[in-house]
Structure 1
Amino acid sequence: MDGTAGMSDGSEARAALVEAARALDAAGFMPQKSGNLSLRTAEGFVVTPSGLPYARMQAGDLVECDAAGAPRPGAPHRPSSEWRLHAAILRARPDAMAVVHTHSPRATALACARQGIPPIHYMITLAGDGGRQGIPCAAHAAFGTEELAQSALAALGTSLRAVLLANHGVVALGATLAGAVALAREAENLAGQYLDLRAAGLAPVPLSPAELAEAAARLGAYGRPA
């Protein structure tokens, strides 16, 4: 998906959403048809359907919803069971154009301990707030509920772009679909590093605020023309 694309009203953006869901599924991030993705639209958002295997999903299977999460009349499927999560984040965070929710194995394992990821690596700055909060774990709530949506929002606040969901998985948001997907992948990578350190009996050393600030500044300039 083009990094300048903000909304999913075009067929190209919808095809990109399907492609992203299939890629995350192939990577083992969406076991047993779990996880879901959404993109903001002019009228609300479009979200992956409930219960449909990602390998079979086509752009026409995506479910259009209004800003409150109600599917449009004649929708081909029921929206994801987590439509409330997507609706709440997209309403509360105008900076979010895409939301990615996964059950990636190592981040989910950490979430099952109801622990977040501390700022042990500079890539955590991608999760927002300069990395100072790391990637926290939101309070537990049953899947598919408004309580879960509000718990995720409380953990995200106004500046974070990724949180773990207790005993559940990961949610990441981005200004583009590609950015949200990349952040969900990075959360899994960081969780793996953290768990490996703990399994080896090593004490992770968090980066200091000054070290995080330097990393965030350098990452912000990364890839820009000299």
Structure 2
Amino acid sequence: MTEDERALRGELIEACRSMNRLGINKGTAGNISLRHGDGFLISPTGIPYDKLTPEHVVAMNWDATFSGDVLPSSEWRFHRDILRARPDLNAVVHTHSTNATAVSILGREIPAIHYSIAAAGGGTIPCAPYQIFGSQELADAVVRTLEGRRACLMAHHGVIAAHVSIARALALAVTVEELATLYLQCLPAGEPLVLSEAQIADVMVKFKTYGQQTPEVQQGLRRAS
């Protein structure tokens, strides 16, 4: 194991622990993967996060083979298939966050109740139909549901958030839970008003220059203003 790979494994372990500290996961219910080399790294099945070491993180190949006697997460199929189908995504975070899972139990998508939903790639966070955990049927349903999106719910199960890095995927998982919380709080008063497709499109453009930027982008913004 190279020092670079050890550092990536450490980043994945820290993200697993962060899920629980952030309150978007409990126990070992969630899992995380990261594109690496000719395959991906993934958290193991059933090992408490505070016990994880870099050696516990499993390096898998696209054909689902791996070395060693530590078993990968039971959800390795949808991690593999998302990363294989979506070259724009490098990390996948799966949680059982309470409110987003509650929305998934209702079989609903999260609508555009707040502009921050655009971080998931569009005006909704859709919900994949129920399939038993760990199955190829679930992986297939998730890949279809994620088309054009970076996050989705899984009916009666939980959340998937994916992005270019673990940090951004984890942040997106937090955003999904916040949106689900808002949605559930609005529902007793009736279906909430939602932003239009045009309004969400404007937000997505705005997000491209949100936060700290490279010097080149900063110069372009100054010229535009």
Same fold (TM over 0.5): yes
Matches within 5 A, 1:147-186: 147-157=137-147, 159-186=148-175
CA distance in 1, matches of 2:199, 2:80: 35
1:173-223 C-alpha deviation (Å, 9 max, x unpaired): 111111111111110010001001113x14311101221122112222112
Q: CA deviation at 1:55?
A: 1.5
**Could you say which residue in structure 1 is the equivalent of 2:92?**
99
Moved runs in structure 1, 4+ residues, more than 3 A?
Answer: none
The aligned counterpart of 2:207 is: 219
Superimposed CA distance per residue, residues 82-113 of structure 1 (whole angstroms, 9 cap, x where no aligned partner): 01111111111111110101000100011111
Pairing 1:189–2:178 present: yes
Using the alignment, how far apart are the partners of 1:118 and 1:205 within structure 2? 9
Question: Mind listing any 5+ residue stretches in structure 1 that lack a counterpart?
Answer: 1-7
- Per the TM alignment, residue 151 of structure 1 is displaced from its structure 2 partner at its CA by 0.5
SS where residue 65 of structure 1 aligns? strand
Give identity over the alignment, percent. Answer: 42
Alignment-mate amino acid for residue 169 of structure 1: G
> How far apart are the structure 2 equivalents of 1:195 and 1:23?
24
Aligned partner of 2:57 in structure 1 is 62
Aligned partner of 1:206 in structure 2 is 194
Q: Shift of residue 9 of structure 1?
A: 5.5
- Checking the alignment, whether the CA contact within 8 Å between 1:68 and 1:87 is kept in structure 2 is no
Once the two structures are superposed, the pairs formed by residues 75-94 of structure 1 within 5 Å of their partners are 75=69, 77-94=70-87
2:84 and 2:162 map into 1 onto residues whose CA distance is 12
What SS does structure 1 have at the residue aligned with 2:60? strand
Q: Which amino acid aligns with 2:119?
A: L
- Structure-2 separation of matches of 1:179 and 1:69: 25
> What count of residue pairs does the alignment treat as equivalent?
212
- In the alignment, the residues of structure 2 paired with residue 95 and residue 118 of structure 1 have an alpha-carbon distance, to the nearest angstrom, of 24
Distance 1:95 1:50 in 2: 26
Residue 104 of structure 2 corresponds to residue 111 of structure 1? yes
Match of 1:136 among 126, 135, 146: 126
Q: Could you say which structure has the larger radius of gyration? A: 2
Q: Distance in 1 between matches of 2:154 and 2:63?
A: 22
The CA RMSD measured in Å over matched residues stands at 1.5
